[in-house]
Structure 1
Amino acid sequence: MKKTKILIATAILGIATFVAIAADHIDAPAVSGGTSDITDFYAFQGSNSSNIAFVANVQGLLAPGSTAAASFDENVMIEFNIDTSGDNVEDLVIQAIPRDGKMYIFGPVSPTQAGLSSTIMTNSSNTAVVDITPYGQSAIVASSGGIMAFAGPRDDPFFMDFAQYGEIIAGNATSFNDPGSDTFAGTNVLSVVVEVPKTLIGGSGTINTWVETKRKQ
């Protein structure tokens, strides 16, 4: 589970884009390489300053040769959690569920319960559905009620020089090289992007936001 915090500003303020990032490409052996493995989480103001975008990447370190065969696991839900009251408990969720080549989006909506178990919020008035973009094709983006969504493979956006990081941890170096060597260059992830109007979240103030993957039981 990745957690981060993002500041929401009203559209009137027109502040510069604020970016929040959390990344974890190499998990424990029981999780690494699994279809529920989260590699990155991003939250930032959209190109339309009235919107906020949430991005979750899963199934990292996909080689180009294997990306075309990779697919979202239909037994795994990606859930963006949004805490608007500062108690570190989700007040809103955005759920992304793959089915038959499409990604179904439910929310932002108040969940029936907080915590590790979730109910699919099919009764949400905020919904969208988008065709999952095949590997190597132009991005397919769907829009519904002000919500925009994308799902599909993308080039891994995270930059990290793990070899130099290892040298620093070992005490053999004190800083990263400039330029460094991107460990993730040439690898891909499966990405879900949901952009929503800030008014669906609360409009202004500070929120906590994190992402989880939850497997169907």
Structure 2
Amino acid sequence: MSDHISGPRALSNPIADITDVYTFPSPEKPGCLVLVLNTMPMAKPSDLFSDGLLYRFRLRPLHPPSPNDAGWGFVPGEEEIVVDCVFVAPGAGDRQQQGTCVSPSGESIPFFVNDLEGGSGRGVRVFAGTRWDPFIMDARAALATIANRELAFTDPGSIFLDGKNVLSIVVEIDTSFLWGRDLVGVVAETLTRGTFNVRIERVGRPEVKNMMLAPKEFDPVNRDLEIRDLYNMEDAFHLGDSYQGAYRARLDANLAFWDGLDGKVDWHAEANGSHPLTDLILADYLIVDVTKPYVEHGTFLEIELAARRGEAHQTCGGRTLNDDVMDTIFTQLVNAGHGPTIRDGVDSATRPATRNFPYLATPNPNPPEPPEHH
């Protein structure tokens, strides 16, 4: 389920569980980049943000791969822009929770949760509140595919999260903050708040943890290891050496499983035995071209796939709210784009996102009860 419930810590602390991250050029204000962090899967309309967490966006300029690089090799620069949002616990007489966004320039921008006007400062606009979960995927069919080792998608399928809510943070920043670069890497994190910040979760692309790292049964090296909490603690822009072998073994095995579901191999292992997608997945941040206009569909992975082909990308990349990214992911995993589109049978939310700030659709006032976990 994208990044919902992406490990034991996320299951035990859903308030810190990042469900999805999106980034795209603003369809409403050209020259601005939209950043979206969704958290708290299956949120109730009354749920509030944690006063014990730091909700963070990190952005770095990306250098394109060299002409001699046969892979995906976008290299993050050392410069970094950070946008932090924090919240206070409402007092007994408070009608709304208050938050503060610290902009790339260091300005503190106050706002109230669920206020559609949000808060604004120099080159920054921010909203936080309950919204309709925009993630589009037949999660039950995807899990059945792994369990039964054969494609289980039907047409039509059903969106497990349709009608459920999330707590959403939307920040729109002027691209003048972004070093004059076109390609930017974006990741979102939740961290403990205080003088010592511990990373709880970090998310770049969808389904890296749940569809690609979670299954254990195909991994010949670490078959008993729940790997996702370790992965969550890593710096997305500087993956540590300590567990990298474990991540690679898990990805090589699971990606080979996905590739074999159509009965043929489309991703041939490299000379060292590594799956060709492993390095791309471990560079786990969204890549967006802030100089290109907003496009509703078909931008996810377009920059990365064009780079692999040695071609110039055509779109803004990133990830938009209404883009059916799972069909793109499943197609690349199963047939590398050499065969038919692998559809999960769902194409859009019943309440799609809009082209106006704060973009995500209004929440469901009566969301279904979340399932119990045992």
Q: Same fold (TM over 0.5)?
A: yes
Q: Secondary structure at the match of 1:199?
A: helix
Deviations 1:142-183 (A, max 9, x none): 222231110000011001211111222234642632321000
1:148 alignment counterpart? 125
2:83 alignment counterpart? 94
Cα distance change on mapping 1:162 and 1:30 into 2, 3 Å: same
2:349 alignment counterpart? none
Deviations 1:33-67 (A, max 9, x none): 421111110011002220001000111122xxxx1
Q: Post-superposition shift, 1:139?
A: 2.5
Instruction: Say which one has the larger Rg.
Output: 2
Please tell me whether residue 167 in structure 1 is matched to residue 147 in structure 2: no
- Asked if the contact 2:101–2:108 (Cα under 8 Å) also holds between the matched residues in 1, the reply is yes
1:94 and 1:28 map into 2 onto residues whose CA distance is: 25
Q: Post-superposition shift, 1:94?
A: 0.3
Please tell me whether residue 105 in structure 1 is matched to residue 101 in structure 2: yes
Q: Secondary structure at the match of 2:126?
A: strand
RMSD: 2.2
The one of 9, 13, 16 aligned to 1:36: 16
1:24 alignment counterpart? 3
Please tell me whether residue 196 in structure 1 is matched to residue 177 in structure 2: no
2:117 and 2:167 map into 1 onto residues whose CA distance is: 14
Q: Secondary structure at the match of 1:31?
A: helix
The one of 151, 155, 159 aligned to 1:182: 159
Unaligned ranges ≥5, structure 1: 1-21, 110-123
Moved over 6 A (4+): none
Moved more, 177-186 or 166-175: 166-175
Considering fraction of residues, name the structure with more helix: 2
2:42 alignment counterpart? 61
Q: What is the TM-score normalised by the length of structure 2? A: 0.43
Considering fraction of residues, name the structure with more strand: 1
Letter in 2 for 1:93: V
2:80 and 2:162 map into 1 onto residues whose CA distance is: 37
- Asked if the contact 2:61–2:181 (Cα under 8 Å) also holds between the matched residues in 1, the reply is no
Q: Percent identity?
A: 27
Q: Secondary structure at the match of 2:184?
A: strand
| 1:72-83 alignment, distance < 5 Å | 72-83=49-60
Q: What is the TM-score normalised by the length of structure 1? A: 0.72
1:71 alignment counterpart? 48
Letter in 2 for 1:30: R
Larger RCO of the pair (alpha carbons < 8 Å, separation 6+): 1
